Every structure is written in C-alpha cells, then in structure tokens.
Amino acid sequence: MINVPVTKAASDALNTVMSIEFTKAKIKINGKNLNGLVKRGVDISPGKVKCTSYCQVKIDEIDYTVLWKFSNCQVELCEATAQAAAEPTPAPKESYESDTDTQHTLPFKVLGTCHSTCRQDALEEAYSYLNEYNRPVFVKLEHEVDNAYDSNAIAVFVQTDYEYKKVGYIASELTKYVHQHLHDPDFTVSVRHIRFCTNFWMVGYYITIELSKKGLWDKEVVKASKRVK
C-alpha cells in the first residue's frame, strides 16, 4: 500500500489538500512490464482489463503508471452472468457415465480473496498455520442461496481456529458441476496451497483448493483446471 498526498500551490509553499491510497501492482502495457498503482478499493481481478485513463508519476525516484479508470465490460459481464445463473443449467451427463468408482481430484481457483480485509486476514492466518506452524487448515463449501448477484453461488470457507471464515467463491461457470456433489459423502475439499502474490492486479493472499469426487469430472471442469497454477 502506498499513500500519495495531493497538493496545491500557495503563495510560498505547497499545501496538502487530500491524500489518496493506492495498491501497487505489476502491469504490462504493450508488452512492457511496468510498476503500476491502482486506487485502493477498485474492484478488478488479475487478467486483461481495458484501462481508459492513466498517467505517470514519480515517487521516491521510482516511475509508476497510475491506472485511474477501467472499461465497464467487467460489470456488464457480472450482470449477464447473474441473469444467466437465475436458472441453473444441468451439467452434461456424458462425463459421469464411466469410471464411477474411481476418485478424481482437480484444482479449483478461489475468486474474490482480495475483495475484503476479513478474507485477507483469514487467509494470512491460514497461511501461517500451514507454513509456520505446520498445522492443518480445513476448508468447506456452502451454497449461498441469498447471494445478491448469483443464487447459485458457492462460497469457500477456511477453518484456522475454531470457526470457518469465508475467503471467496468458486467460479460461477463451474458451480453447476459442483452443486450436485455438495452433500455426497464421497465428495471432499482440501487446501492445495495458499500464496502471497505481488504480480497480480490485486496484491494479497490467494488460495487454490482441490475437489475430489467419484467419477470423471466434466470436460469443462478439466479444461478450467489446466489453467490453475
């Protein structure tokens, strides 16, 4: 986090009139890696985004590119996804018809981990349990029926002490393949790894989980798992 004072000229000095907090980010523009700053609280995720307003500043002799405004395509996508999710689409059955007795495990990304301080605090604690104290961290999934944007949302919770804390969500395009297994006794959820990343748009802790079930996963789930690091 970096705090930048904004000043105005007076007769003999510069007076600070406001202060803006930014989050540092690693960005790439036209193939060139740059030091970036994004206003704290801006809701964007790692990946390609369209920036409509930016500028350059120098802080402590370091050049930064400040990203101010972004295209609303992400908002439109979220709204479209929420509408489409109003009626859950049944998962294709072809992938489940064979190899029904073998347990298959795939990695899943957890989205939205950097969207609140509470989620980051929970992941930081879980990270220390795993890497400093060598203690287990348990994870569970819950269907969040009262979610304002997607009634089919599946929330991810981690347990570090005596209670579970929400840290994010399963990607909405994959929830239809997970819902039918939530109450299956053979279905298991575990932590694959927790990492602190500085090369994403939003610097912070990220978690990857593993879901295991009997029978083959749908080909769309397998395809998505190949993009999970």
* CATH classification at residue 186: 3.30.70
The reply to whether 15 falls in a domain is: no
High-pLDDT (> 90) share of the chain, %? 48
Nearest-angstrom CA–CA distance, 188 and 140 = 9
Co-location of 220 and 117 in the same domain? yes
Q: State the pLDDT at residue 79.
A: 40
pTM to 2 decimal places? 0.58
The reply to whether 29 falls in a domain is: yes
Domain that holds residue 203: 103-226
Co-location of 107 and 32 in the same domain? no
Co-location of 123 and 66 in the same domain? no
Co-location of 129 and 193 in the same domain? yes
Co-location of 35 and 131 in the same domain? no
The reply to whether 13 falls in a domain is: no
The reply to whether 146 falls in a domain is: yes
Q: Which residues of the chain have pLDDT under 50?
A: 1-2, 4, 6-14, 16-17, 72-86, 94-97
What is the number of structural domains in the chain? 2
Q: State the pLDDT at residue 28.
A: 72
Q: State the pLDDT at residue 57.
A: 77
Co-location of 125 and 46 in the same domain? no
Co-location of 123 and 181 in the same domain? yes
The reply to whether 189 falls in a domain is: yes
The reply to whether 47 falls in a domain is: yes
Co-location of 64 and 131 in the same domain? no
Co-location of 51 and 129 in the same domain? no
The reply to whether 113 falls in a domain is: yes
Co-location of 113 and 63 in the same domain? no
The reply to whether 16 falls in a domain is: no
Co-location of 51 and 122 in the same domain? no
Query: What confidence tens digit (pLDDT) does each residue in 174-187 have?
Result: 999 999 999 999 99
The 3 state secondary structure assigned to the chain is: CEEEEEEEECCCCEEEEEEEEEEEEEEEECCEEEEEEEECCCCCCCCCCCEEEEEEEEECCEEEEEEEEECCHHHHHHHHHHHHCCCCCCCCCHHHCCCCCCEEEEEEECECCCCCHHHHHHHHHHHHHHHCCCCCCEEEEEECCCCCCCCCCEEEEEECCCCEEEEEECCHHHHHHHHHHCCCCCCEEEEEEEEEECCCCCCEEEEEEEEEEECCCCHHHHHHHCCCC
Co-location of 109 and 50 in the same domain? no
Last residue of a domain, one of 47, 71, 95: 71
